[in-house]
Amino acid sequence: MSHQSDLISTDIDAYLAQHERKELLHLLTCGSVDDGKSTLIGRLLHDSKMIYEDQLEAIKSDSVKSGTTGNDFDLALLVDGLQAEREQGITIDVAYRYFSTSKRKFIIADTPGQEQYTRNMATGASTCELAIILIDARHGVQTQTRRHTFIASLLGIKHIIVAINKMDLMDFSEEVFNKIKQDYIDFTNELNTGELYFIPISALKGDNVVNASEQTPWYDGETLMWMLENVKISAARNFEDFRFPVQLVNRPNLDFRGYCGTIASGIVRKGDEITALPSGKRSKIKSIVTYDEELEMAHMPMSVTLTLEDEIDISRGDMIVHSDNLPTSKKSFSANIVWMNESPLLTGKQYEFKQASRAFGGTITHIQYKVDVNTLETSPTPSLELNEIGLCDLEFSETIHFDSYSQNPSTGAFIIIDRLSNVTVGAGMVETATHKKKRKNTESSTIHVTKEDRAARYGQKPVTVMFVGISGSGKSTLAHALEKRLFDMGRISTILDGKSMRLGISKDLPHDAAGRAENLRRSSYIAKYLNDSGLICCAAFVAPNADSREHMIDVIGEDNCIIVYLNPPLEVCKQRDPSGIYAAEANMETGTVPGISFPYEEWENPNLILPTHELDVEECIDKLINVLKEQSIL
């Protein structure tokens, strides 16, 4: 393996001393599928001469069998080590690679581009100070490009290099480069992305990666490697707030008790007055010990052992901080959550949370909104699905000590663990109070809970879905089936059935046309009350005449009423006869059967017509759910 420094062959001690003093940069590559992330890392390793010769020969032979670049040397195989990755030509898991130059050491994470592996990208980005967002010049800014950029901004990555790759396939067009650059700038205008750098590259050919390209005379910027070597990362680190999560209590003998861990942020010196959390006990730093020496001062991200002048109770999971600079201590906060599990996030469910080395129980009490990564617009929702991002309110079983993520990522980040499976299902970043979304409704400052408040909490538009038709058409069956489907989707709904109403508020009414019309009129006010309470009302009524129908729509509101007309033939309804009214009518005229005893008026312009003699229950509900989604009710 060749190396940037000649000292490795002439003076190994001098080389190691030089290497130890180099600054370490954590970075990642991300973007959409097949944008060239693995190839770019391979190119960096190859051109910085950080590949062993036998490894290079192995990759050359593998390129013939598993490569995706024809007869060319496939640099992506340097990173895509899993067999499934080589077979598919994609990255599945996060791959970490190390390389160095004469100026810096690098740990680079190659993250997958598929949407289902977004959680892997968030994991890889959590420790990084710089992100390389790759964009395929052929396709421009994609959904995953936006999602990864948004996550990078949430994680507080202060430096983003936008590498517009595969420029060789677009004849190194300056026009293409400028258009993609502008599209990306337009998207990120509302994001806190820190510094942005744009560079046209060809990872496969090496243009502008390590060496400047002659194919882009119109580009007057630096190469990618120059940016990686020279970007200033120390300014983004927090050296003000001393935070020391205790990972181990070191007790080798009776005369020594030390507290081991990595300094998450800030600087500590001998004699500093400190407070141990959660106990609140105070002491002073007696010594700062490392493996081979005792220090007068230490800073992030050094791993040290601290000893104190006083014997106080400190254990794993506690935090040592400066007494005059304490973190926030509360049992609740708001946080941006990236959901990483196939099963949706459920409010009210007990989860395990882990912050640094401390674990504690708690619940997500409310989802304020979720974010559309394409438009950055927010919308209410009752749950978060896989890869969705939302601002949530959390409550815990004990007092938590934290900072906002933007101020201190070490104490502002946490993971969410399912208590039954022990699987990590989400990652969170504590939000500052000033960043909370403000409600526009002027009533929100009063003591009353408004209709808009309930809609935001439940993540749905409250409406009445009115199933109408003659007896036996399937109204009650579909109303209950809709309620079950909505329940499974995490929505809040209830049933309002004409038959049930006759057991109470409409008990005095006859079953003739006038009685059925009055039943609908009375029930309309209940449906409106349920909608005002934020619920979707699944209603089932005969609704025989135009007057009662108009009254119902006036009470509930035209925008809040979805009419679903069930129109199977009368003969089919007679065969079903769920209430036995058709059999009773055949023996004696009762004057109570719609469509026989009195006319049943056809509906004009219902929202949906369902021939329940041709469709089964699931097919009917599928069609109705599509209508509700088209009208933005769900």
Q: Which residue, 213, 236, 259, sits at the end of a domain?
A: 236
Decide: residue 214, CB within 10 A, 0-12 exposed, 13-18 middle, 19+ buried: exposed
| Closest among 612, 290, 604 to 473, alpha carbons compared | 612
- 1 part of a folded domain: no
| Closest among 523, 517, 515 to 548, alpha carbons compared | 517
Verify that 135 and 41 share a domain, yes or no.
Answer: yes
Q: Is the pLDDT of residue 373 over 80?
A: no
pLDDT digits (tens, 9 = 90+) for 121-173: 666 677 788 889 999 999 999 888 888 888 888 877 888 999 999 999 999 99
Q: Which residue, 236, 263, 280, sits at the end of a domain?
A: 236
Across the range 289-302, mean pLDDT stands at: 88
Verify that 584 and 615 share a domain, yes or no.
Answer: yes
State how far the Cα of 170 lies from the Cα of 149, in Å rounded to an integer: 24
- Stated as kind and residue range, the H or E segment containing 395 is strand 389-402
Q: What percent of the chain has pLDDT over 70?
A: 83
Verify that 231 and 262 share a domain, yes or no.
Answer: no
- 118 part of a folded domain: yes
Verify that 479 and 620 share a domain, yes or no.
Answer: yes
Q: Is the pLDDT of residue 89 over 60?
A: no
| Closest among 465, 442, 478 to 531, alpha carbons compared | 465
Instruction: Name the one residue in this structure whose structure tokens are 């004057």.
Output: 591
pLDDT digits (tens, 9 = 90+) for 193-246: 778 999 999 988 889 998 899 999 999 999 999 999 888 876 667 888 899 999
Lookup: tokens for 519: 């039943």
Verify that 204 and 271 share a domain, yes or no.
Answer: no
Q: What percent of the chain has pLDDT over 90?
A: 33
Residue 274 contacts residue 320 (beta carbons within 8 Å): yes
User: Which residues, in sequence order, are bridge partners of residue 161?
Assistant: 132, 197
Predicted local confidence at residue 98, as pLDDT = 79
- 273 part of a folded domain: yes
What sign does the dihedral 453-458-459-465 (CA atoms) show? negative
The answer for residues whose C-beta is within 8 angstroms of residue 589's C-beta and 6 or more apart is 597
Verify that 543 and 586 share a domain, yes or no.
Answer: yes
Collapsing DSSP states into helix, strand and coil, what is residue 358? strand
Residue 332 contacts residue 366 (beta carbons within 8 Å): no
State how far the Cα of 395 lies from the Cα of 433, in Å rounded to an integer: 15
- 441 part of a folded domain: no
User: Which residues, in sequence order, are bridge partners of residue 105?
Assistant: 24, 100
DSSP secondary structure code for residue 91 in this structure: -
Verify that 102 and 218 share a domain, yes or no.
Answer: yes
Indicate the number of domains in the chain.
4
Give DSSP secondary structure letters for 560-607: GEEEEEE---HHHHHHH-TTSHHHHHHHS--S--BTTTB--PPPSS-S
Residue 353 contacts residue 415 (beta carbons within 8 Å): yes
Verify that 318 and 377 share a domain, yes or no.
Answer: no
CA distances from residue 201 to 26, 107, 163, 197, 495 in whole angstroms, order as listed: 21, 21, 6, 13, 60
Cβ neighbours, 10 Å, residue 526: 17
State how far the Cα of 254 lies from the Cα of 121, in Å rounded to an integer: 46
At 86, is the pLDDT very low, low, confident or very high (cuts 50, 70, 90)? very low
The answer for residues whose C-beta is within 8 angstroms of residue 179's C-beta and 6 or more apart is 140
- Stated as kind and residue range, the H or E segment containing 364 is strand 358-371
Radius of gyration in angstroms for the set of CA atoms belonging to the chain, rounded to a whole number:
32
Verify that 226 and 97 share a domain, yes or no.
Answer: yes
Residue 528: give its domain's CATH number: 3.40.50.300
Verify that 416 and 473 share a domain, yes or no.
Answer: no
Cβ neighbours, 10 Å, residue 626: 12
User: Taking the chain, what is the end-to-end CA distance rounded to the nearest angstrom?
Assistant: 59
Whether the full predicted model's pTM is greater than 0.85, yes or no, is no
Verify that 508 and 404 share a domain, yes or no.
Answer: no
Range of the domain at 479: 456-630
pLDDT digits (tens, 9 = 90+) for 561-582: 999 999 888 889 888 888 788 8
